[in-house]
A and B are shown apart, each in its own frame.
Chain A
Amino acid sequence: MEQKREQWGSRLGFVLAAIGSAIGLGNIWRFPYVAYKNGAGAFLIPYIFALVTTGISFVALEFVVGKKYRGSAPLCYFRINKHMEFVGWWQFAISFVIMTYYAVILAWSLSYIGFSTTLAWGNETKDFFYNSYLQVSPGASVTNFGGVVWQTLVPVLVIWAVTLCISYRGVRNGIEKISRIVLPCLAVLFIIFVIRAVTLPGAAVGLNTFFEPSWSQLKDPNIWMAAYAQIFYSLSLAMGIMITYSSYLPKDSDTTNNAYITAFSNSGFSLLSGIGIFAALGFMSAMSGKPIQDLAAGGIGLAFIVLPQIINQLPASQIFGVIFFICLLIAGITSLISLLEVCIAAASEKFNWSRKHTVLIIGGLATLVSVAYTTHGGLYLLDVVDNYVNDFGVMLSAVFEIILILWVYKQTKPLMEEANRFSQIRLGNYWKICLAFITPVILIIILVSSFYTNITQVYGGYPADFDAVFGWGMVIALLVFALIIPHLRWRGVKTNLKAEKEENSK
């Protein structure tokens, strides 16, 4: 028997969940560094341009697709045209892979909340992170990952247990309730972090480094590509998340306005993060006498090596450390929940599993895969998988999604009409030009450029077989999966939207 579709309890609940999904680790540790490396203040011009051309338009597209076709990503695409279902399973596969290592990074953040209370990392933060905490093996190997590192495995299990408990409770009682609690907490804690950072000695130098525009770099097309890629990754686009979340909206929801709120809030948080991180780096520079150029880092290096060094120098350093890592954890866990929801919605609709069973099956599988990243060679695996799943998985998915929806299956007009029926903000020619012309051209350029880089050089200097198996091999495996699953019958829902509506109205 088909299951009745859940719905958000309120518009605020949906918006907070969507913002929580968009705001993730990348806002805190990727945006400040990408901006700094690409013209600093001048980067903000292509960044804002990318936000208003691609970011908002793409979120608006995904919101209206989800609301109109009312299903998980594969089901929505199936309802557009059955030949498009594979894109949904491609997005399912990407979300599954990303969440398996995302949970591991959150587990590190959880551990670092504890370490902050005693400043357990000492003065050698790099050595502590790689050797004492992760116990990374000297080199990457396809056949030998070393054993499991228990001190990383245990927090991974805790993160998964919490995430699965939230998802188990459903959309309204789980995801919406938790978003309404943790998102305001994240905002308050992060503002405290930023206020503390900007009031430190040397903060102005850091802010000057972050905002001082290098105008000459604006002529470099790579900076424009970096801005589009940042907007794209940061908004959780083309992973099925926004489609799945908006499929739980009531029919008369204003998806366009919601898209504006979500996209601007995500960038607002990124900007706040840039201010906080660079103010803290300015302080570190003043204390250590090293130039900011030598201290600036992104990703794992920023969060688990540079920030602990800064925290060491601060008065009441433990509190500052706890606040920062709690922010990282909250930002990440709301994104993890959304990735999991993509898989749960799709699998339960396809195979007619109850939500609770699906959470246990998908969550159990994801937890098992996560264990691989807690081994001595897990960090290498994480690095390679992250590179390939983002460069090819997400970008390829976005190109397929836009070209098939707007060009092949000609959904521009029906989607615009659907969005405009319930919104004061009209989608028109501007939206069409941004999405159907500007966005695919830029995405294809980014995709081709990544493809060229990855085939002409082995990523990260890893052994070629390691890169081939866990990079290219993984991409091919996901593609095969995405092409096979559409051959199975939908068991949990009526694929005909009209028939489902009639069923629900009985």
Chain B
Amino acid sequence: MSTSAIIMMILSMVIIWGGIAVSAAHAIRHGK
């Protein structure tokens, strides 16, 4: 894979899957 493809893959994974992790963690911490 090219460097730019690897960067895009990692970037999108971090933003999107990171978004799930952060919002789910927020839900667990703050209840309701």
Contact = CB atoms under 8 A, between A and B. Distances in A.
A1 B15 CA distance: 50
B1 A268 contact: no
Nearest to B18: A264
B6 A211 contact: yes
A264 B23 contact: yes
Contacts of B24: 261
B29 to A, nearest CB: 9
Given A252-B32, A257-B27, A268 B2 contact: no
A500 B8 CA distance: 51
The 6 tightest CB contacts between A and B, nearest first, are A41-B8, A264-B19, A260-B23, A211-B5, A212-B5, A208-B1
A309 B31 CA distance: 47
* Overall SS of chain B's interface: helix
Interface in A245-262: 250, 252-254, 257-258, 260-261
Contacts of B4: 41, 212-213
Interface string A260-296: 1100110110010001000000000000000000000
Contacts of B19: 260, 264, 267-268
5 contacts: A207-B9, A257-B30, A260-B19, A261-B23, A264-B23
Contact of B15 (A42, A48, A257): A48
A250 B27 CA distance: 15
Contacts of B32: 11, 250, 252-254, 422
Nearest to A48: B15
A457 interface: no
Given A51-B16, A211-B8, 8 more contacts: A11-B32, A44-B12, A211-B9, A212-B4, A213-B5, A264-B16, A265-B20, A271-B17
A27 to B, nearest CB: 12
Given A261-B20, A267-B16, A271-B13, A211 B1 contact: yes
A425 B26 contact: yes
Interface residues of A, number: 31
Interface of A: 11, 15, 41-42, 44, 48, 51, 204, 207-208, 210-213, 250, 252-254, 257-258, 260-261, 264-265, 267-268, 271, 275, 422, 424-425
Given A41-B8, A271-B16, A424-B30, A257 B23 contact: yes
Contacts of A258: 27
B16 A207 contact: no
A267 B12 CA distance: 10
B9 A257 contact: no
A424 B31 CA distance: 10
Given A11-B27, A204-B1, A208-B2, A268 B8 contact: no
Contacts of B31: 254
A271 B20 CA distance: 12
B17 A268 contact: yes
Contacts of A424: 26, 30
Nearest to B6: A211
Q: Which of A11, A207, A260 has the most CB of B within 10 A?
A: A260
B5 A257 contact: no
B5 to A, nearest CB: 4
Contacts of B23: 257, 260-261, 264
Contacts of B16: 48, 51, 264, 267-268, 271
B1 A44 contact: no
A254 B30 contact: yes
A252 B27 CA distance: 14
Contact of A213 (B8, B17, B27): B8
Contacts of A254: 27, 30-32
B20 A268 contact: yes
A426 B9 CA distance: 30
Nearest to B26: A257
Contact of A208 (B5, B15, B17, B26): B5
B28 to A, nearest CB: 10
Nearest to A263: B19
A112 B8 CA distance: 34
Nearest to B20: A264
B2 to A, nearest CB: 6
Contacts of B11: 44
Contacts of A422: 32
Q: Which of B4, B11, B13, B20 has the most CB of A within 10 A?
A: B20
A172 B2 CA distance: 48
Contacts of B12: 44, 48, 211, 271
Nearest to B8: A41
Nearest to B12: A44
A275 B10 CA distance: 12
Contacts of B9: 41, 207, 211, 275
Contacts of A42: 8
Contacts of B30: 254, 257, 424
Contacts of B15: 48
Nearest to A204: B1
